Amino acid sequence: MSQLCFYLPPFSSDYAGACSSLFDLEGMVIIHDGACCSRNYVGFDEPRWFGHKRPIFCSGLREVDAVLGADDKLIEKIQKALQTMDRPQFIAILGSPVPTVIGADLQGIAMELEDAVGIPSFGLSTTGLSYYNRGIDLTAAALVSRFTQPRTGGRPGTANILGLTPLDFSDNENAADLRVFLETAGWRVGCSFMMGASLEDIRDAANAEVNLVVSQSGMGLARRMWQRWRIPYVVGTPAGTDHTALAERIKRACETGVCIPMGEASLEPGGVLIVGEQVLANTIRERLAAQYGLHGVTVGTFFGLDRDLAQPFDLDLPSEAALVELIQSGRYQVLAGDPLLQEIPGSERLDCFSIPHVAVSSKLYWHDYLRFASAEMEGLLARIAQAGHKCAGETGCAV
Amino acid sequence: MNKTKSCCLFEDQLEFFSPMPHRIKGTERDGLPESFDLHVAPSACGRRMAIGSYQRNSRNRRAHLYISESDIVSGCYEDLVPEAVAQILATVKPAPRAISVIVTCIDDLLGTDHEALLMLLQKSFPETHFCIRRVDPIRRHTAPPPPVNMQVSMFSMLDPSTVREDAINLIGNMPPIVKDSELFSLAGEMGLQVRQIDDCATFDDFLAMSRSRLNLVTTPIGLAAAQEMEQRLGLPYLYAPGTYRIEKISAAYQAIAERTGKALPDLSSYQETARREIAAARARLGDTPIVVDSSGDFRPLSLARTLLEYGFCVRLVTENLIFDGDLTDYHWLRENHPEVEILPPNSAELDRRSEELAGCLCIGFSSAYLLNAKHLVDFPDLFFFYGFHAVHVLMERMIAACDCEADFGKIMRESEGMAK
């Protein structure tokens, strides 16, 4: 039964992705829900919540208001709250399962609110039925559509970061490392969607020379910015200690004006399975091939396989049951991914490597997170490679 | 007046949630023994419960049945439940004796027929007990709130019994009452066994609760379940919610003795110790302003009143949803101490009061964090305190809190990760 899940927790939802995207901005955010959705976000999907009092609220939705469609009550509550806080730069109203069921028109409510208070407002059709990457994409699209100014000649040497989120990168040094990587490669960081960005950065985002997409959740925006402003994008994130190939790809994309969604390493299915966020998983695979000669690696993801980033043999995992079947199939001898994957029966027979993922295991590991661009990660890559070569030797599967 | 009714003190407003430490120290099981939870909801809804179950080492007794958009549109997702139950019974070893089907807010709007679903499950799987639990905060201010419903549904699995044993059940305390409470020794002296869910090693131990002589309701959230059991099982109840007032604690023990036909042991030494401890805390705290937060006690208005009566300097209480039985405390506060402010919990207003109240001692983490309170009385325990022992613990912790500054970061760090 594909909808039944025994071993893995529910993953971060679209509203959590949206909230985390808006966290750093000077906006007011309202999750339209009874309480649980907001508590899910602040307690389990936002490693930065402790120590930062951000104006992200629960609407306190009640059954009677949901049934009666009392949108005016929500607007009144927001107006009342606005009287006691600094004027936000925008207001975002996010959906959850109940507004989805009743078909609430969040964009319509936002327009009415904007008319009433004179603050740019928008609704996001998050549902709690999709995963975080959809929420991040929705939010980035709304912000760019609303605030980004037309391209005015461009700013040479400027690179945006797309898809940066604590749900993939946690709140350790990973975000800062990305900036250091780009700056060391000679770039000035433009807008860092969606960690560390300001509304000013978003307004100026169309002037970047190139976009670096560091997670799948940035792909939608990358495509839109390519279509609209012909800003080429490169997909990948620094992993381990050697980032030369990624830096070269960014340079090449700028020189040629061509998007580069993947590296050129020769890859094939093998006995190693990496399950997780697709861009990080791809980057690890590319590093394993380039640095360690391990080419037989399959990437699987629960978050919707982006075919532009996938090898033909990569796996779209629609459910936990699909992963259970894979793990028990005997096709793989090495498994890398969130530590909770090791709860799945059969995984004990595999060589398992932990790469915590906030969107999966939440606060269980978010402060013991891997620093992706680090010697620690390089050591992990070496160990995965060693295990991959060993299993290839034993089973004859592809190296 | 029907005591199960609840009401709100404040109009609805936007809510701001503090980071809340999740208590993870040392329990192997939450909920009923030999039972299993099937969470039927959109994937987002079950995240915090699932992660919490990992933290408490109890993830082996929970599964999630994810509802998709098409299931909602078709309106017949309950059809999936029997199939999921069959798979649980085939997969989980040993097979659970009881399964709680947990539904969320959307269920209230889709009009799922819970009674029909329950009958179908019971007919299809006659060896297994079932209940349906609603976790639906969209009804928390209008209908019995989710923790009340949870108690009602859990105890609905008890069958009637003609046998009456010398035992009392503790109803309403979600974590168990700690064994250090004199409740257990006094009950022992009265020849009464004390039964509570967390002490049940087997599902049969739980079923034995229907044979007890009396339900002792220790918090307002257990009252509806006790009333239901009185009606359905003929099991009487005594409503004696946790309190810090010496005379009320004494009266509760007196009532237990009367209702079970037992002789009440001498309480004077407990009373005297409690008075001494209260005086010591009062002397140590002096005029330190106190904030009583709803995350620190089930009945913050009652606690605030009691502290004021003991001479403490209470400045602020946070509470919104109150049960009718506690309305008298609210009115007493308004009439006798109008200077004591009452705010709804989760109010962003608290953040703006942090400068004014920063030097306070706050009972409960949530408001303490928002106020950046200097002193925090925290309850990280997976226990509930009751009787004179509760007075002892509170006074001891208030004194200890006065002697050190709150370290919110340390508390949060200790609440993350897996159970040790």
- pLDDT tens per residue across span B212-263: 999 999 999 999 999 999 999 999 999 999 999 999 999 999 999 999 999 9
Please state, in angstroms and rounded to a whole number, the distance separating the CA atoms of residues B382 and B23: 7
Flag if A1 and B64 touch (Cβ within 8 Å). no
Please state, in angstroms and rounded to a whole number, the distance separating the CA atoms of residues A35 and B321: 14
Under the banding of pLDDT at 50, 70 and 90, the label for residue B1 is very low
Q: Would you call A96 an interface residue with chain B, using a CB distance cutoff of 8 Å?
A: yes
CB contacts, 8 Å: A80 with chain B: 13-14
Q: Which of B29, B342, B385, B16 is nearest to B205 (CA)?
A: B29
Please state, in angstroms and rounded to a whole number, the distance separating the CA atoms of residues A74 and B348: 16
A78 contacts: CB under 8 Å, gap ≥ 6? A28, A30, A91, A113, A117, B14
CA within 13 Å, CB half, A394: 11
Predicted TM-score (pTM) of this structure: 0.94
Under the banding of pLDDT at 50, 70 and 90, the label for residue A371 is very high
Select the residue of B47, B68, B136 nearest A129 (Cβ to Cβ): B68
Q: Please give the full DSSP string across A113-159, using - where no structure is assigned.
A: HHHHH-S-EEEE---SSSBHHHHHHHHHHHHHHHHPPPP-S--TTEE
Cα torsion at A197, A198, A203, A209 (round to 10°)?
Answer: -30
B169, β-bridge pairs: B195, B215
Under the banding of pLDDT at 50, 70 and 90, the label for residue B28 is very low
Burial B286-322 (b: 16+ CB within 10 A, else e): eebbbbbbbbbbbbbbbbbbbbbebebbbbbbbbbbb
Q: CATH topology for A158-256?
A: Rossmann fold (3.40.50)
Q: What per-residue confidence (pLDDT) applies to B109?
A: 86
Spans of all domains in chain A: 14-130, 158-256, 268-395
Biggest alpha carbon–alpha carbon distance for chain B: 65
Q: Are B376 and B400 in contact (CB under 8 A)?
A: no
Q: Would you call A102 an interface residue with chain B, using a CB distance cutoff of 8 Å?
A: yes
Q: Which one of 3.90.1150.10, 3.40.50.300, 3.40.50.1980, 3.50.50.60 gives the CATH number of domain A14-130?
A: 3.40.50.1980
Residue of higher predicted confidence among A393 and A110: A110
Q: Would you call A71 an interface residue with chain B, using a CB distance cutoff of 8 Å?
A: no
CB contacts, 8 Å: B137 with chain A: 34-36
CA within 13 Å, CB half, A398: 13
Beta-strand pair A296-301/A158-162: unpaired
Flag if B47 and A13 touch (Cβ within 8 Å). yes
| Same-fold call for A14-130 versus A158-256 | yes
Please state, in angstroms and rounded to a whole number, the distance separating the CA atoms of residues A307 and A304: 9
Please state, in angstroms and rounded to a whole number, the distance separating the CA atoms of residues B301 and B321: 11
A196, β-bridge pairs: none
Which residue reads 């949530």 in tokens? B366
Q: Return mean pLDDT, chain A.
A: 95
How many other CB atoms are found less than 10 A from the CB of residue B82? 15
Q: Would you call A354 an interface residue with chain B, using a CB distance cutoff of 8 Å?
A: no
Please state, in angstroms and rounded to a whole number, the distance separating the CA atoms of residues A197 and A190: 9
Q: What per-residue confidence (pLDDT) applies to A322?
A: 97
Q: Return mean pLDDT, chain B.
A: 91
Q: Are A371 and A174 in contact (CB under 8 A)?
A: yes
Flag if A58 and B352 touch (Cβ within 8 Å). no
Q: What per-residue confidence (pLDDT) applies to B189?
A: 98
Instruction: Indicate whether A155 pLDDT > 80.
Output: yes
The percent of residues above 90 in pLDDT, for chain A, comes to 91
Under the banding of pLDDT at 50, 70 and 90, the label for residue B141 is confident
Q: What per-residue confidence (pLDDT) applies to B379?
A: 84
CB contacts, 8 Å: A33 with chain B: 105, 138
Q: What per-residue confidence (pLDDT) applies to B419?
A: 56
Q: Are A261 and A163 in contact (CB under 8 A)?
A: no
CB contacts, 8 Å: A167 with chain B: none
In tens, the pLDDT along B30-89 reads 679 999 999 999 999 999 999 988 988 888 899 999 998 888 888 778 889 999 999 999
Select the residue of B14, B83, B138 nearest A63 (Cβ to Cβ): B138
Domains along chain B with CATH numbers: 33-155 (3.40.50.1980), 167-260 (3.40.50.1980), 279-414 (3.40.50)
Average pLDDT over residues A378-391: 96
How many other CB atoms are found less than 10 A from the CB of residue A104? 22
Q: What per-residue confidence (pLDDT) applies to A71?
A: 92
Instruction: Indicate whether B3 pLDDT > 60.
Output: no
Pick left, alpha or beta for residue B418 (phi over 0 → left; psi -120 to 50 → alpha; otherwise beta): beta
Q: What per-residue confidence (pLDDT) applies to B147?
A: 87
Q: What Cα–Cα distance (Å) separates residue A328 from each residue in A117, A349, B151?
A: 57, 9, 40
CB contacts, 8 Å: A11 with chain B: 43, 47
Q: Which one of 3.90.79.10, 3.40.50.1980, 2.40.160.60, 3.30.428.10 gives the CATH number of domain A268-395?
A: 3.40.50.1980
Q: Would you call A23 an interface residue with chain B, using a CB distance cutoff of 8 Å?
A: no
Cα angle B255, B257, B261; round to 5? 120
In tens, the pLDDT along A162-202 reads 999 999 999 999 999 999 999 999 999 999 999 999 999 99
B79 contacts: CB under 8 Å, gap ≥ 6? none
